[in-house]
Amino acid sequence: MPAKIDEHKSQTVCPEVRSRLRDIVGASTNWRDHVQAMQERKALHTLLAKRQEDLPPRRMKDSYLEVLLPLGSQPEIREKYLNVHNSVRFGRILEDLDSLGVLICYTHTKQEMQPRSPLSIVTALVDKINLCKKVIYPDCDIKFTGNVSWVGKTSMEVKMHMLQLHDGDYSPVLDATFVMVARDPENKRPAFVNPLVPESPEEEEIFKQGELNKLKRIDFSTASLLKMAPTAEERNVIHDIFLNTLDTKTVSFRSRILPPNSVWMEDAKLKGLQICHPQERNIFNRIFGGFLMRKAFELGWATACSYGCSRPFIVSVDDIMFQRPVEVGSLLLLSGQVCYTEKNYIQVRVHSEVYDADTREHHTTNIFHFTFISENEVPRVVPKTYGESMLYLDGKRHFAAIMKEI
């Protein structure tokens, strides 16, 4: 990626990213006008490509963007990002990454003669976010960089990096990989996006990695414990846990005792509720994915904090699938569960669902996976039921994949 970029490719302050996104799609800043604004987008259907081959190919550097978050040079914006430990709220960073990822994709698909994009680009998946720093300082400038790294027919992978200024130099804080999908102006059907052409052996390797990431996601989904039985090794793990929790004084499969320095999984959860107000809407007048990630992370952090009885630090975020949009006005139910522990690591799964008060139905919208590291070694979490055992194995799989990655 080029070290120096054109001035028009550099943004300052993350709110400007969201302002630019509103301009690109013609979204209204007034909630009362949102229906009219969406109606006006219907006319953009004629601008959609009939085939991907009709769209001009793009290079990786065409979508490259830098965004500055001047926490050091503009102290007035610090308050929004500050947590009680005098470091940066990671949930706010998730919001900024989500907005930037969408803007990068709009930059990739921009047509010179079209002031407004006919595409509705939304986050489909957070593949992974790996951190290399425990603490993000609230009084030092932050720089985000990113570009489209792989393209399918209607989807785009975006790689982003976050750096923080120390002693005159920017040092890495995290790397993130998001997958975005393009849909028609009404956000109903898939839409074609510009193909991506690697220009160097390094870029060909990045593109190939994007293809491998897609295949890995398919393999992981195929082997899901919701579809396939655990492996023989995993079955042995669960049976060993079961045997270790049997009461030896009785000859009963139902009499269970908790081993020393352990916590039953049913006692390692927290729940929360959010009313989804218009303030949290995205440019398509549904609830902003970054807001959902922030709320899920904060519940996940609280779950890990209460479990480990000390301050946890985020190590990794992975495999966040946006299964269905959340409408404005929804009741959002969040459930955080410690599902696996090892030494001082805590694997937390947050399940989010919307509740329809009229039909009394619950619909899952997201599953979030967070890996935390605690300051001290934590108790072992122990499943009791078969369902909890599957959660345990799923958490173990995610933890193993993260440890391999980092």
Model confidence over 303-337: pLDDT tens digits? 999 999 999 999 999 989 888 889 888 899 999 99
Beta bridge partners of 223: none
d(CA 252, CA 384): 15
Q: How many CB atoms lie within 10 A of CB 263?
A: 16
From the CB of residue 46, how many other CB atoms can be counted at a distance below 10 Å? 8
Q: Which residues, in sequence order, are CB contacts of 24 under 8 Å at separation 6+? A: 103, 106, 116, 117, 283
Q: Do the Cβ atoms of 291 and 327 come closer than 8 Å?
A: no
Task: Give me the pLDDT at residue 6, please.
Answer: 43
CA dihedral 173, 178, 182, 188 (to 10 degrees): -120
Asked if 377 and 343 touch (Cβ cutoff 8 Å), the reply is yes
Both structure tokens of 153: 């027919």
Average pLDDT score over residue span 118-123: 92
Give the orientation angle of helix 386-405 with respect to helix 232-244, to 10 degrees. 120
Average pLDDT, the chain: 90
Question: Going by C-beta distance under 8 Å and a sequence separation of 6 or more, which residues neighbour residue 239?
Answer: none
CB 369 within 8 A of CB 349: yes
pLDDT greater than 60 at residue 40 = yes
Instruction: Work out the percent of the chain whose per-residue pLDDT is above 70.
Output: 94
- Summarize the confidence of residues 25-50 as an average pLDDT: 76
pLDDT at 1: 43
Task: Report whether pLDDT(186) > 90.
Answer: no
In the three-class reduction of DSSP (H, G, I as helix; E, B as strand; rest coil), residue 277 is classed as coil
Please tell me the pTM assigned to this model.
0.90
Torsion, Cα 251 252 257 262, to 10 degrees, reads 110
Segment 249-276 shows an average pLDDT of: 90
Q: Mean pLDDT over residues 197-225, rounded?
A: 91
User: Would you state the pLDDT for residue 180?
Assistant: 95
With a cut of 50, say whether residue 8 has pLDDT above it: no
Strand-strand pairing, 65-69 and 155-166 = unpaired
Please report the pLDDT score of residue 5 as a whole number.
38
Q: Strand locations in 140-211, DSSP E? A: 142-151, 155-166, 169-183
Alpha helices in 128-246 (DSSP H): 201-222, 232-244
Q: Is 152 helix (H, G, I), strand (E, B) or coil?
A: coil
Q: Give the residue-averaged pLDDT of 270-280.
A: 92
